[in-house]
Structures are given as C-alpha cells and as structure tokens.
Amino acid sequence: MLFNLIQSQMIYGTAWKKEATATLVEIAIKEGFRAIDTACQPKHYNEKLVGEGIQKALNGLNLKREDLFIQTKFTPIGGQDPNNIPYDKNETIENQIKTSLEVSKSNLQTHYLDSLLLHSPISPYSELLKAWRFLESFVHNGDVKQIGISNCYEMSLFQKLYEDATIKPKVLQNRFYEATSYDKELRVFCLANDVEYQSFWSLSANPHIVNSKELLQLSQKYQKSPAVIFYRFLVEIGISPLNGTTSDIHMKEDLSIFNFVLDKIDIEMIETLLL
Ligand SMILES: NC(=O)c1ccc[n+]([C@@H]2O[C@H](COP(=O)([O-])OP(=O)(O)OC[C@H]3O[C@@H](n4cnc5c(N)ncnc54)[C@H](OP(=O)(O)O)[C@@H]3O)[C@@H](O)[C@H]2O)c1
C-alpha cells in the first residue's frame, strides 16, 4: 500500500436536504464534523442554508471560520436546472465561474473557500483547460486555498489535466462504485501525487459489501456497525468519504471511525471485496 501524504477526513455532504439543510449542518458540526461539502447548484443543494448552519454552529461552539474546511463546486450549465442557474449562461466560462464563486462566498458567509471543485469535466478539453486556468487565478489571489475536480472517471483525462495544470488538482471527488472498478488506477495516482480522493455513494452503491457476511463478522469483532467498518476501511486506504446522513445517531456512530483502527488483515480482506 502506498503511503498517503493526505490526512483522510470524513466530510459532511449537504445535498438534497432542502429546508432542513441549516439545521442538519449545524447538528453535524456540533457532533464533530469539521469538513463540509456543498455546491453552487440550487437543483440539489441549498448553499445559503449551508452558510446559515455553519454560522449558527460557529457561534454556538465558539469556533472560528478557520476551524472548518469548507468546500463548494462550480457546476457547469449541463448540471444546472435550466430555470435556476446561479450565473448568466450566455456569459464566458470565466465569467460564469467568477459569478458562481461570488454567490458561493456570499451564501457561505466567508471571504475564502478551503476547496473549490469543478463539478464535472467540460468538453472540449480546451474549454476545460480554460476553466482550470481561471480557477487557478483564485488560488493566486487567495479566494480559494485549493482546487479540484469531481466526476472525472477517465484516467487519461485526469492525468492530462494534472500535467497541464500550473496549480495541480488537490481533490478528485468521485462516485465510489463497481462500474468504474472503484477507480483503482485513479486512486493509485492520487495517493502518489498528493491528491485527496473523496468518495460519494460509498454506502448506497455498495450494499453487497456493507451487508456481506464478511462485514457482519467484522462488525461483531470490532463491535461497530458494518457501515462504520466500511467508512473506517475507506479512511484506512486513503479515501475521504462524504457522508450526508440525516440522523444524529449515524453522525455520532460514523465519526467514531476516528477512534479505532482495523487490523491489516481485515483491511486486506475488505479490499478483496472491491472486485
Ligand atoms: N460530486 C457529485 O457529483 C456528488 C454526487 C452525489 C453526492 N455528492 C456529495 O456526497 C454527499 C453524500 O452523498 P451520498 O450520495 O454519498 O450519500 P449519503 O447522503 O451519505 O447517504 C448514504 C445513506 O447512508 C445512510 N447512512 C449514513 N450513515 C449510516 C450508518 N451509520 N448506518 C446506516 N446508514 C447510514 C444515510 O441514511 P440516514 O440519513 O438515515 O443516516 C443515507 O441514506 C452529498 O451530500 C454531496 O455532498 C456529490
């Protein structure tokens, strides 16, 4: 196994929470989440309520903005609801990104973002590179600490972007599932190049693993639920899972992954389930 320079984290996901978003974000931070993921994509995320939840939690817990890792995304037109696009779709890609970032900073009540992701690759590649160059300018001016990309499943594309980038992607956020062989090649590349691999659909795409007899046995051995064993496994192999639970019981349970370790033999066994 390659040594991972990145400290894996569990990131609270804010999609699909609608009017409960602020309350759930506040509870998640109170329960101990310190990383929050959202997007400037009103179709799936209420970013303004994410900002309200963050502020309430910061005030309630007497925390500072710097105590949190806040990540949002620029969503290209194809991923937006045509009737609710948070920028002018007729503008250049640069101006779309500029407006989207301004909206995000205002929604999230922050003057900087820890991480800004391109929600999906843009084609042609020349347009993707144009967008990337513009994202880089926000790292230069301090608006954003790091940039990354999501839903990029093609090794050759990610590698090309990595090579052409002046400021390298620090995050790859992908669906973690069988259809892409769990991004094995991409994950090796990420580990070797100091890129944080963030997974979504970690539980929902993998009931065959979470409910397997192997996980059930480990659940008994460690006295943790199979879901918790699986999340712990992800962190052990260098993945930062997103977790959008709406249950404070699951929040507590899932954050307990940082209080125990899995034996090497068990990690290797779960790895064989990622066929
Ligand atoms: N980049 C992208 O395109 C993209 C796409 C999808 C999602 N995301 C991000 O990823 C986040 C997470 O989304 P997700 O699709 O991975 O799924 P998720 O929202 O984390 O949901 C997974 C399911 O797991 C359940 N769960 C959580 N902890 C559990 C536990 N300990 N035991 C049993 N069940 C448990 C949840 O139910 P309960 O609510 O009952 O706990 C939920 O039904 C999103 O909010 C979003 O931020 C990004």
d(CA 121, CA 128): 7
**pTM of the entire predicted model:** 0.97
d(CA 25, CA 244): 10
The rounded Å distance from CA 13 to ligand 1 centre is 7
Q: Is residue 4 pLDDT above 90, yes or no?
A: no
Q: How do residues 125-175 score in pLDDT, each as one tens digit?
A: 999 999 999 999 999 999 999 999 999 999 999 999 999 999 999 999 999
pLDDT at 196: 98
Three-state DSSP state, 239? strand
Q: How do residues 6-16 score in pLDDT, each as one tens digit?
A: 789 999 999 99
Q: Where are the alpha helices (DSSP H) in the chain?
A: 21-31, 47-61, 93-107, 125-140, 155-164, 184-192, 207-210, 213-222, 226-236, 248-255, 264-273
Q: Which residue is closest in CA terms to ligand 1's atom 11? A: 13
pLDDT at 275: 75
Q: Is residue 2 pLDDT above 50, yes or no?
A: no
Mean pLDDT of 14-41: 98
Domains of the chain (ranges, CATH numbers): 11-205 (3.20.20.100)
pLDDT at 177: 98
Q: Which residue is closest in CA terms to ligand 1's atom 29? A: 250
Instruction: Please calculate the CA angle 86-90-93 and round it to the nearest 5 degrees.
Output: 75
d(CA 148, CA 160): 14
The rounded Å distance from CA 195 to ligand 1 centre is 22
- What is the best residue among 247, 252, 255 to mutate for testing ligand 1's pocket, by most ligand atoms within 8 Å of CB? 247
